[in-house]
Copies of this chain bind each other. A is one copy, B any other.
Amino acid sequence: MENNLEEKRQSGKPRVLIVGGVAGGASCAARARRLSEKAEIIIFERGSYVSFANCGLPYYVGDVITDERDLLIATPEIFKKRFNIEVRLRSEVRSIDREKHEIEIRNGGTGKVYREKYDALVLATGAAPVRPPLPGIDLSGIFSLRTIPDSRRIREQITERKAKRAVVVGGGFIGLETTENLVRRGISVTIVEMLEQVMPPIDPEMAVPIQEHLTANGVSLCLGDGVAGFEQDPVGNTISVITKSGGRYICDMVLLAIGVHPEITLAKEAGLEIGRLGGIRVNDQMFTSDERIWAVGDAVEARDFVSGEWSLFPLAGVANRQGRIAADVILGREARFRGVQGTIVCKVFNVTVAATGMSEKSLNRRKLSGQEGHYEKIYLHPGHHVNYYPGAKPITMKLIFSTEDGRVLGAQAVGEEGVEKRIDVIAMAIQQGATVFDLEEAELCYAPQFGAAKDPVNIAGMIAANALRGDAPVAHWADVRSSQAYVLDVRERHEFALGHVEGANNIPLHSLRGSMSELPRDREILVYCAVGLRSYYASRALRLNGFSARNISGGVKTYHAASGEPASEKPNDTLPPK
């Protein structure tokens, strides 16, 4: 069959049928045309739109994007005129005849069912919102947000039905972005999330600043509790969301945002291989188990770039890249998908959270499954630019790296400014297999408005490199609880007086050299300060004087995030060299 396609390519007229016309399907089609003027390319899209800005939907709900047409990145007319690509809307592909190389399509307008032959078939069927079979799930007023009609219905609920209270089920991207936009529309929102944290892709302690920010913006959080069902108030037209713990949240509308699952019905019924996570199984050329059928985008499982494991990453950029690769392969080019790093970003009110590579959670899952890799993590809280220039905002960062070779495994960051920049730089570093020693030496933009002579990325690399070189091994707050160590707080007396870790001893950094005789030589000393800088200086001095000392990474500010207890003060460390 491969030969058959090769013949078609030689004759120049392969027939490429694409099921689904949003990110991956549209990219595949456009790329295919750029590789062949003669290929016949048809997109079958079940919905009423192709190539729309899925990621913009929450902002259309929030009236940030006011004109629905702005969400249409391309129309069937543009595809026709610009690319000579045919788009058939409201066209549901119902089955694949792999023997005959045909698909069966139902025209949603006329009801007509017909078949089309393919030389190459691309499944870009996407993903659908998860809708668990809970009591009351089909009540009116319970919405998902995945398509333009979805967002239109939610807008109507706000404007026509005057919704004032909403429950958002799920604290991931869509949940948080929509929460912000509902608040923007004057709606009070409660988020119900099954996990003990919002933003599941990042580690729990990194989600704490987002949770605080949500609360500060009037959002109620109900974490660690799942939804048991929904009930409609027979009189008031309100919905009660009942949680597993017995909570009851009364509201005028519910947004279900508990994730998406790959749309694989078509693939499954055709007997194509499905992965363990429920996505279509493809190789790095986006081949399914049928060599005439490719699959791309949210519908497929992809390799995690760092761990090599199969994963689900419903991301627009990934779908686009996979679409282009499928087109390349179909038209006879060499192209391979490198895997997904899982680079993500989400803005909620004024806070941005971003991540790339592996989380500690996912590393620990690997550990549990026996694929142990040795890693260390460090925390830091640098300003997004120099403190001497007005307006510096702190970024809380976590860097995860291999203790074997220093390779960067993942990074997460939260803050108001400059967050995504640092994650993008580290994403590039991870793609290149860079180590923490490379981050140390990275030469990045510095002017007072943008960064510092030592950029947060450099500082992260330095802390990690200092740990790996054995100069400044790091400890974590969990170590304090689990060890018999002597805990040393090197902040100033007034900072210590405002609050400190139980059992900690206070010797301010500037008195340390004169007070070393007070310190134990038979126990490990765990040192902390506000953010981890002064304690780094202290741990160096202690180690050079023969003590066994480690620096508690991230200081009080990380303790605060990890424990939920209030920080006693604002970090006021100053860096000596400009």
Contacts and interface: CB of A to CB of B under 8 A. Distances in A.
Interface of A: 22-23, 26-27, 30, 33-38, 51-56, 59, 64-65, 70-71, 73-74, 78-79, 81-84, 177, 305, 315-321, 323, 338, 340-347, 352, 354, 356, 386, 388-390, 420-421, 423-425, 427-429, 431-434, 438, 441-451, 453-455, 457-458, 471, 509-510, 513, 534, 537, 540-541, 544-545, 574-578
A455 B53 CA distance: 15
A51 B578 contact: yes
Nearest to A386: B53
24 contacts: A23-B577, A23-B578, A35-B544, A37-B544, A55-B386, A56-B389, A65-B389, A65-B390, A73-B574, A79-B576, A177-B447, A317-B444, A317-B453, A320-B577, A343-B443, A343-B445, A345-B447, A345-B451, A420-B445, A420-B451, A424-B444, A425-B428, A431-B438, A432-B434
Contacts of A78: 574, 576
A537 to B, nearest CB: 6
Most chain-B Cβ atoms within 10 A of its Cβ — which of A420, A429, A537?
A420
A540 to B, nearest CB: 4
A576 B26 contact: yes
Contact of A81 (B30, B38, B318, B510): B510
Nearest to A420: B445
A223 to B, nearest CB: 23
A455 to B, nearest CB: 8
A544 B36 contact: yes
A27 B341 CA distance: 35
A348 to B, nearest CB: 10
Nearest to A347: B449
Contacts of A578: 22-23, 26, 51-55, 73, 316, 320
Contacts of A346: 447
Contact of A320 (B65, B82, B421, B454): B454
A38 B513 CA distance: 11
Contacts of A81: 509-510
A343 B442 CA distance: 10
Given A59-B389, A386-B56, A576-B82, A431 B445 contact: no
Given A30-B576, A81-B509, A420-B445, 8 more contacts: A26-B577, A55-B447, A177-B447, A345-B450, A345-B451, A423-B445, A425-B425, A431-B443
A244 to B, nearest CB: 31
A50 to B, nearest CB: 9
Given A37-B541, A64-B389, A323-B577, A432 B443 contact: no
B421 A424 contact: yes
A496 to B, nearest CB: 17
B318 A443 contact: yes
Contacts of A425: 424-425, 427-428
Contacts of A574: 73-74, 78
Which of A321, A425, A438, A444 has the largest count of B CB atoms less than 10 A from its CB? A444
A578 B315 CA distance: 11
Nearest to A64: B390
Nearest to A73: B578
Residue among A26, A51, A421 with most chain B CB within 10 A: A421
B345 A537 contact: no
Given A441-B431, A442-B428, A317 B454 contact: yes
A434 B424 contact: no
Contact of A576 (B36, B73, B537, B540): B73
Contact of A428 (B341, B347, B420, B429): B429
